[in-house]
Structure 1
Amino acid sequence: MRNSELDYPKIRYVEAFPVETPQGQLIGLRDPTGIATDMIVLSPDVFFLLQFFDGRHSQKDLRYKYFQAFGSFIYEEQLAQIVDNLDEHFFLENNHFQQRLRQMQKEFMNQPVRKASHAGKSYPEDPKELKQQLENFFTHPQGAGLPNFSTKPDSPEIGGIVVPHIDLRGGGPCYSHAYRALAEASEVDCFIILGTGHSGLRNLYSVLAKDFETPFGVARHDKDFIQQLKTQCQGDYFSEVLPHKSEHTIEFQLIFLQYLFQQKQKPFTFVPILCSFSYHFLDRNTFPEAPDLIDDFTNALQNTIESFGRRVCLIASVDFSHVGVRYGDRTAPDLNFMTRVKEYDQELIKAIEQLDAEAFYRTAEKYEDRYRVCGFAPIYTLLRSIKAKKAKLLKYSDTIVDPYNSRVTFASIVLFK
C-alpha cells in the first residue's frame, strides 16, 4: 500500500545549486543539516516542479503543473519514481524523515562531545599542522601579524567581534585580524559564539549544551551560562540540536580560540548558539511570531551576560555578500558589480560601527538582500545583546569560491566595551 504522504509530497528546506555535466546544466540538491547524506541531481524541469511540493498539491496536480509549464506530460510512473527517490534520501518532510530525525538526535546527544565535522577537510586533522596553518594566516601578507600574548594593564576590553566563517583556506588571513585584537585585549572567561545556522531553525535560535572536540582537544561549554540563559528565556531554544552536528560556523571559531588560549596557557568556556533568520522575519505582518522570539532571546542573552559575573565576549560568525553563478546570478561578477557589492557591504559595516541594530536591519531591508548576506541573524543578535561603546573595522576582504568567479565577502570587526 502506497504511503499517502507521498501522494502530497512536501520538500524540506534544502540547498539547490547548478551542476555542470556533459549533458548540460542540472540542479543539485543537498541537505545543509546532514540528515540527508547524499546529493540528488535533478533536471531543470523536475526542479521547476519542486516549488509545488508543498504538501497541498497531489501528484496528479503536479503532473498538470508540468503540462502547463512545458506542454508535455510527465508519466505517472516517472513522477512517482522521483517522489520515491526524494523520500528514500530524506528530502521530503514526512513521517519517514521525522523517524530519521529522532534517531539522529538521540545518537548525537548520546555522544560525549560534538566531534569535529570539518577536520581533514577545511583544516588539518593533525594539531601541529593546524597550529602551523593558523600561524601562517597571521603572518600572511594580508594577515594581522602574530599576536603579543602578554596582556597589559591598559589593554582594551573587547565585548564582541564580527569574524568570517568562510572556508579557512579562502579567508584565514581575515580571521587573524579579529583574533589578534582579541589576543591582545583584556582577559575573557566565556565566549558566546553566534554561528550562522545555514539549515534553518524552527525557533530561530539553537543553544547546544555540549562540549566540542577539535584537533586541539575538547573545548568546554559553559553549563552555568546556559542554565542561566534558559531561565531567562520564554521560548524553547534548546531542543533543536541536530543542526549543530555538521554546521561549521562555530567550529571554525573554536579552533582559533583554542590556539590563542593554548598560547596564553589559560582556560576558557564557550556557549554555542546558532542563529537563523533573515531581515524579513522582523516584519510582523509577514512573520507574526518571529519578532517576539527575537526580542525574547536577545533580551534574555543581554540579561544573562550582565548578571553572569564573569567576563564575556560575543563572537558573530558571519560572511557578507555571496555573488556569482554559484549563488544564482546569471553572470560572473565584474569590477562594476563588485563595486556595488562593496558599497552595500560598507553600509552594513557602517551600521555595525555605529552599534545600530535598527540601521543594520533597515539597510538589509532597503537592498532586499540583493547580495545574499550570510550572517544577518548573528550580527543583529550581537547588536541587540551587547553593551559596547564603539566598534572598528579591522579588515574587509573577499575570495573566489569556484571556477566561475563567484565571490564571498567578509570582514573582521571589533566592538569595544
Structure 2
Amino acid sequence: MLENERTEIVNNKLFNSLSAPIPPVRRDIQIIPVSDDGRDLLIFYDPIKIAESGFALDSSVEPILSLIDGQKSITQMQPFFRNGISPDKLLEFVQMLDNQKLLESPYFQHYSGWIEEQFENSDIRQPALVQTSYPAEIAELKAFMDSLMDEAGSSHADNPVKEAKALYAPHIDLRVGSKQYAEAFSALKSLRPKRVVILATSHYSGYHPEIYDGNPFIGSRKDYLLPGTRFETDLAYIEKLEETAKSAGFTLHDRAHRIEHSIETHLLFIHHIWQHDFKIVPILVGGLDELFYKEDGDLGQKVSAFTETLQQADDEDTFYLISGDLSHVGRKFGDQVQASIMRPDVEEFDESFLSAAVQGDNQIMLQTVAEEFDAYRVCGFPPLYTFLKAFPGLNGKKINYNWWDETERESAVSFGSVIY
C-alpha cells in the first residue's frame, strides 16, 4: 500500500473513543502461547494474511485481551485494573491492536476490503508460498524441486505413463509429502497437454460468505506467477464457464485465490516436469456439504450444470489436476481424542474413499463421505467429486497413500494420489 493511502486509512479509521464499546478481537485470529528464551509470549496468527505475520505480545497482556469482548468501553474496563492503567494508555494499547488489524473494527474492514479489491483488480496472482514453503530465487527453487523429486526415488521416474486424463494429488506441505508428490508427478513427465484445468480445494472461501454462498466454483482470469514463470490463463475456456455462471454456481470474484496454496503447489511440480507451452484454468471448489442432505437440491443442480459445462469444453488436449488431501483428524481439527486412537477407523475410511476414486464412481464417493457427514473432513472431496461427476467411469490407479502424524498436536492428515 502507498504510504499516504495507509496514513489516510489509519487517521480516519482507528478506534478512538473512551466511551464506545471496543471492537472485539477478530474471531478468526489464532492466539498461540509460546516460550521464547524464558519469556512467555502470545503470537497472533492471521489465517487470511491481512495482519502482519510474526506479531507477538508479552503474555501479561492476556487479562486486557480477555476484556476486549465487543461490549465494554475503555471507561468500563478501567476498574478491572488495580494498578491504575490510565484511559489514555488503554486507548493506546487498543489502537495498537487495531493498527495491527487484530480487531473486528471499521479500520480492519476498510483495510482488508482495500487489500481484497486490489487483488481482484490485478491481472496477475502473485505467489503466496514463496520464501515460506519454497525459495524465491530461480536457481535455488530448481535445486529445491530437484531435491524433492530425487529423494523420493519415484517408481514412475523411469517409466512415466504415455496417456492420462487426470491426476488427483495432495497439496500438503511440500516437505511432508515430498515422496508422494514425486511419485505422482513423475508419472506425468511424458505428457504434453495444451491446457491444464486445475480443480482444487478452496480453504478460504468460507471467510467471504457474502460472495461465495451459492457459488462453490471459483475461477480466475489472472495469470499465476512463480519465480521466473508466468502461467497464462486460458481466457477462452474461462469465458465458456462464465456463460453458465449463474446456473452453475460459478463466479470470477476471485479473492479466494489470493492466498490459496492448493493450486500453487501443483503449479510448482508441473513447471518442474514440463517445459512445453500450455495454458491453465485455475478453479477452486468450495464446500459441497448440502449434497449430504439433498443431492438434487439447489447445490446439486449447480454441480450438475457446472460438470456438464466441463464435459462440453473437454478435448484431447486438456489435462486435469485435482488438488486435495484426505482426512483431517485429531484435537487440532476439533476431535475429542488424539489422532493416533482414531487411526484404524480413519485408514479404513480412506481406503473406501480411494476405492471409490479408483473406480471413478462419484455416487459411491458421495455415499462414503455422506454416511458420517464428512466426519473426517476430507478436503479433497469437493474437487475430486466434481471431476468424477463430469467424467464418470474413468479407470483410476492408486499411486500412493500416506499418513502425517502431527504428534505434538495429537492430530494427523492423510493424503494420497490417483492417476486416471
Q: Indicate the TM-score class for this superposition, using the shorter chain for normalisation.
A: 0.7 to 0.9
Q: Aligned to 2:363, what secondary structure does the other structure show?
A: helix
Map 1:107-256 to 2 at 5 A.
Answer: 107-141=118-152, 143-147=154-158, 155-158=162-165, 160-185=166-191, 187-201=192-206, 202=209, 203=212, 204-234=216-246, 237-256=250-269
Map 1:15-414 to 2 at 5 A.
Answer: 16=30, 19-21=33-35, 30-38=45-53, 59=71, 89-90=100-101, 95-141=106-152, 143-147=154-158, 155-158=162-165, 160-185=166-191, 187-201=192-206, 202=209, 203=212, 204-234=216-246, 237-262=250-275, 266-279=276-289, 281-283=290-292, 291-293=297-299, 295-297=301-303, 299-309=305-315, 311-329=317-335, 332-334=338-340, 336-401=341-406, 403-404=408-409, 406-414=411-419
How far off its partner does 1:116 sit? Answer: 1.4
Larger of the two Rg values belongs to structure: 2
Question: CA 1:40/1:282 → structure 2, altered by over 3 Å: closer, same or farther?
Answer: farther
How far off its partner does 1:341 sit? Answer: 1.8
Aligned partners of 2:374, 2:64: CA distance in 1, in Å? 27
How far off its partner does 1:321 sit? Answer: 1.8
How far off its partner does 1:168 sit? Answer: 0.5
Q: Aligned to 1:168, what secondary structure does the other structure show?
A: coil
Worse overlay, 29-38 or 388-397: 29-38
Aligned partners of 1:372, 1:79: CA distance in 2, in Å? 41
Equivalent position of 1:14 in the other structure: 28
Aligned partners of 2:67, 2:304: CA distance in 1, in Å? 39
Percent identity for Structure 1 against Structure 2: 26
Aligned partners of 1:347, 1:412: CA distance in 2, in Å? 14
Aligned partners of 2:131, 2:139: CA distance in 1, in Å? 13
Aligned-pair RMSD on alpha carbons? 4.2
How far off its partner does 1:368 sit? Answer: 3.5
Q: Aligned to 2:371, what secondary structure does the other structure show?
A: helix
How far off its partner does 1:310 sit? Answer: 5.5
Contact 2:359/2:393 (<8 A) preserved: no
Aligned partners of 1:24, 1:37: CA distance in 2, in Å? 21
How far off its partner does 1:125 sit? Answer: 2.1
Contact 2:32/2:44 (<8 A) preserved: no
Question: CA 1:389/1:314 → structure 2, altered by over 3 Å: closer, same or farther?
Answer: same
Contact 1:13/1:199 (<8 A) preserved: no
* Residues paired across the two proteins, number: 387
How far off its partner does 1:89 sit? Answer: 4.7
Question: CA 1:94/1:178 → structure 2, altered by over 3 Å: closer, same or farther?
Answer: same
Q: Aligned to 1:367, what secondary structure does the other structure show?
A: coil
Contact 2:195/2:281 (<8 A) preserved: yes
Question: CA 1:27/1:238 → structure 2, altered by over 3 Å: closer, same or farther?
Answer: farther
Aligned partners of 1:407, 1:10: CA distance in 2, in Å? 32
How far off its partner does 1:344 sit? Answer: 1.5
Aligned partners of 1:293, 1:47: CA distance in 2, in Å? 40
How far off its partner does 1:364 sit? Answer: 2.0
Q: Aligned to 1:183, what secondary structure does the other structure show?
A: coil
Question: CA 1:360/1:387 → structure 2, altered by over 3 Å: closer, same or farther?
Answer: closer
Question: CA 1:87/1:389 → structure 2, altered by over 3 Å: closer, same or farther?
Answer: same
How far off its partner does 1:212 sit? Answer: 0.9
Contact 2:362/2:392 (<8 A) preserved: no
Question: CA 1:233/1:404 → structure 2, altered by over 3 Å: closer, same or farther?
Answer: closer
Aligned partners of 2:134, 2:363: CA distance in 1, in Å? 36
Residue type of the partner of 1:135? Answer: D
Aligned partners of 1:120, 1:254: CA distance in 2, in Å? 16
Aligned partners of 1:25, 1:383: CA distance in 2, in Å? 50
Question: CA 1:222/1:294 → structure 2, altered by over 3 Å: closer, same or farther?
Answer: farther
Superposed CA deviations along residues 351-400 of structure 1, whole A, max 9, x for unmatched, are 21222223222222223333332223222222222345211211001224
Contact 1:30/1:40 (<8 A) preserved: no
Q: Aligned to 2:402, what secondary structure does the other structure show?
A: strand
Structure 2: 5+ residue stretches without partners: 1-14, 73-79
Residue type of the partner of 2:267? Answer: L
Residue type of the partner of 2:387? Answer: L
Contact 1:32/1:198 (<8 A) preserved: no
**What TM-score do the two structures reach when normalised by structure 2?**
0.75
**What TM-score do the two structures reach when normalised by structure 1?**
0.75
Contact 1:324/1:333 (<8 A) preserved: yes
Structure 1: 5+ residue stretches without partners: 61-72
Residue type of the partner of 1:247? Answer: E
Aligned partners of 2:62, 2:373: CA distance in 1, in Å? 26
Aligned partners of 1:370, 1:92: CA distance in 2, in Å? 32
Contact 2:16/2:95 (<8 A) preserved: no
Residue type of the partner of 2:242? Answer: K
Aligned partners of 1:48, 1:256: CA distance in 2, in Å? 45
